Amino acid sequence: MLDRRDLYSAGFVERYVLTHTVLALAALAVLTCLDVDLDDIPAKVLAL
């Protein structure tokens, strides 16, 4: 089992943050390309 020091030394946190930042930007780019109104997203999510 890895302890916290192993995770930090392996750069786990940096990879985690970088990966999720890239995924968030990609999702935003896709929504922008599809011309989705960002104000409508909460209403669409609640409607599901």
Total domains in the chain come to: 1
| Angstrom distances, CA of residue 20 to CA of 7, 16, 38 | 17, 6, 19
Confidence (pLDDT) at 22: 92
- Whole domain around residue 13: which residue ranges? 4-47
Q: What is the mean pLDDT of residues 6-13?
A: 71
Q: What is the pLDDT of residues 14-35, one digit of tens each?
A: 888 889 999 999 988 887 777 7
Give the C-alpha separation, 41 to 23, whole Å: 18
More confident residue, 32 or 4: 32
2 vs 25: CA distance, rounded Å = 30
Residue 23's pLDDT is: 92
Asked if pLDDT for residue 7 goes beyond 70, the answer is no
Task: Report the predicted TM-score, pTM, of the whole model to 2 decimal places.
Answer: 0.49
1 SS3 class: coil
